Structure 1
Amino acid sequence: MHTLVLWDIDLTLVDYSGLGRTWYARALANLVGKPMTHQPFFPGRTERSLAREILAAHDEPDGDEQVERLFAELEAIALAERESLPMLGRALAGAPEILAVLARRAGVVQSLVTGNLPTLASCKLAAFDLHHHVDLDIGGYGSLSEHRHDLVEAAIRQATDKHGHSFAPRSVVVVGDTPADVAAGRHHGTVTVGVATGRFTVEELADSGADVVLPDLADTDAVLAALEAS
């Protein structure tokens, strides 16, 4: 039996609260010379969705070409700040432990479904040496689509292509801190695990339809039991 575990990053594995807004403000200023006066709702969103909203709200073109330019600014900022990221955030309790335990388990593949761009995802995880445990090459990233369920589809397809066998829906586990993570997994019939380390409570994640909801990742045995629900 093979299991594919797809992790969200922000407020699931790591906490860089406020950094996304700061980076977008700088990226927008670098690209079009305007201050960011519109503050979108970030949790559960993809970078493509956020970029389009921010550009449109500041009376800028929001087509793919301009979105890609904004992405390039974000990536440049992330790479420039890579060395300081350990001081700007933290790994959430239990995240390093569960990633390491799963990395040693035969038949388990770990990757990402995250709203982040690939470069941002890599930088954020590498700051706490978490990147070694996940296959970054097969992740579903926020550059792909405005819709999170498309990222789940991409990750499953890429995992299947790389590992040479298919992953049945209930052998895929989507883990995240928002109802959007849960909805994306449910769209494809996967197991969904909500983690209440972000803006949403245990009750709100349960109401969104998560198969299992955890208060955090601190109890490795409890997390393993939740993941084994698949």
Structure 2
Amino acid sequence: MLWNVDLTLVDVTIVTREAYADAFRQVTGRPLVKLAPAMGRPDSEIIFETLAINGIVPNDDHLPRFIDALAGAFAGRRRRLDKDGRAMPGAKDALKAVSRLDGVVQSVLTGTIKSNAVHKLRAFGLDAFVDFEVGGYGEEVYPKATLLQVAQSRVKQMYGFACDGSNTVLIGDSTRDVQAARIAGATMIAVASGRSTTTELRDAGANLVLDDLTNPSEVAAAISHLTTPLTPRPA
């Protein structure tokens, strides 16, 4: 069970933008004029586009330096997350309801770098339901569909479960999330809590589209209905 983070579980847009501006200045010595839109993309992609649209020619050193600076800038603002951000409606109850399902491992598939994903969920008490070690993150320079498969592989390694499309669910809010799930052969539950509309999410091929996460029983029931239980790999 993989959750997207931003605009699915939390909204910390203000803090994220400030951290990006801080990181950009640290890496380039210049103020940030324009930030590339997220649109469900990983931080690695946003960083490269942000450099380009601000007139910086990226080199091999830019990405690791920017990721380190972004992690530091965000960590320095982590105490503001609950003040200037919010957990999405129903997020905590949905995570809790899914955690009660037999054989479920919950993690994240997010464009956010790992350290920032942890800060985002921890600020709202959502981290207790998530195994961050088997997730997929924005510093890993792969398309989201590949990250999903990487996360499946991590679950196999750590839990010994036979993990494939029949028992992998992604919950996210963007058409990019839907596309990643379809390419990887996973089940997609879309939530119209971000910038993609219900129609866009449905047309992109989501198995189910919810308005939000405020009915945790509905979320848990949908996962049970759309998947088969995880089973250990044969010895």
Pairing 1:31–2:27 present: yes
Quote how far apart the aligned CAs of 1:50 are.
Answer: 0.6
Q: Which amino acid aligns with 1:27?
A: A
Quote how far apart the aligned CAs of 1:149 are.
Answer: 1.2
Quote how far apart the aligned CAs of 1:220 are.
Answer: 1.1
Task: Check the 8 A contact 2:14/2:84 in 1, yes or no.
Answer: no
- Describe the shift of the 1:116–1:123 C-alpha distance in structure 2 as closer, same or farther (beyond 3 A): same
Quote how far apart the aligned CAs of 1:119 are.
Answer: 0.5
Task: Tell which deviates more after alignment, 52-61 or 88-97.
Answer: 52-61
SS of alignment partner, residue 213 of structure 1:
strand
Q: Pick from 73, 80, 90: which aligns with 1:77? A: 73
- Give structure 2 stretches of 5+ with no counterpart: 228-235
RMSD between superposed Cα atoms in Å: 1.3
Task: Check the 8 A contact 1:90/1:128 in 2, yes or no.
Answer: yes
Aligned to 1:142: 138
* C-alpha separation in 1, matches of 2:221 and 2:49: 39
- Describe the shift of the 1:224–1:103 C-alpha distance in structure 2 as closer, same or farther (beyond 3 A): closer
Pairing 1:217–2:213 present: yes
Quote how far apart the aligned CAs of 1:48 are.
Answer: 0.6
Quote how far apart the aligned CAs of 1:18 are.
Answer: 3.5
Aligned to 2:4: 8
Pairing 1:168–2:164 present: yes
Task: Check the 8 A contact 2:99/2:129 in 1, yes or no.
Answer: yes
Quote how far apart the aligned CAs of 1:146 are.
Answer: 4.8
What TM-score, normalized by structure 2, do the two folds share? 0.92
Q: Which amino acid aligns with 1:152?
A: L
Task: Check the 8 A contact 1:191/1:211 in 2, yes or no.
Answer: yes
Aligned to 2:154: 158
Quote how far apart the aligned CAs of 1:33 are.
Answer: 1.5
SS of alignment partner, residue 47 of structure 2:
helix
* C-alpha separation in 2, matches of 1:56 and 1:146: 19
Task: Tell which deviates more after alignment, 92-101 or 114-123.
Answer: 92-101
Deviations 1:30-51 (A, max 9, x none): 2211122233121201011011
Deviations 1:152-189 (A, max 9, x none): 11111111110112212120001100000011011111
Task: Tell which deviates more after alignment, 19-28 or 74-83.
Answer: 19-28
| Identical-pair percentage | 35
Task: Check the 8 A contact 1:47/1:146 in 2, yes or no.
Answer: no
Pairing 1:40–2:27 present: no
* C-alpha separation in 1, matches of 2:59 and 2:177: 25
- Describe the shift of the 1:13–1:122 C-alpha distance in structure 2 as closer, same or farther (beyond 3 A): same
* C-alpha separation in 1, matches of 2:169 and 2:29: 42
Q: Pick from 217, 222, 227: which aligns with 1:226? A: 222
Q: Which amino acid aligns with 2:112?
A: N
Alignment of 1:83-94 (within 5 A): 83-94=79-90
Q: Pick from 181, 202, 205: which aligns with 2:201? A: 205
Task: Check the 8 A contact 1:49/1:146 in 2, yes or no.
Answer: no
* C-alpha separation in 2, matches of 1:217 and 1:179: 17
Quote how far apart the aligned CAs of 1:193 are.
Answer: 0.7
- Give structure 1 stretches of 5+ with no counterpart: none
* C-alpha separation in 1, matches of 2:164 and 2:143: 21
Q: Which amino acid aligns with 2:132?
A: L
* C-alpha separation in 1, matches of 2:102 and 2:58: 44
Q: Which amino acid aligns with 1:191?
A: T
Alignment of 1:182-193 (within 5 A): 182-193=178-189
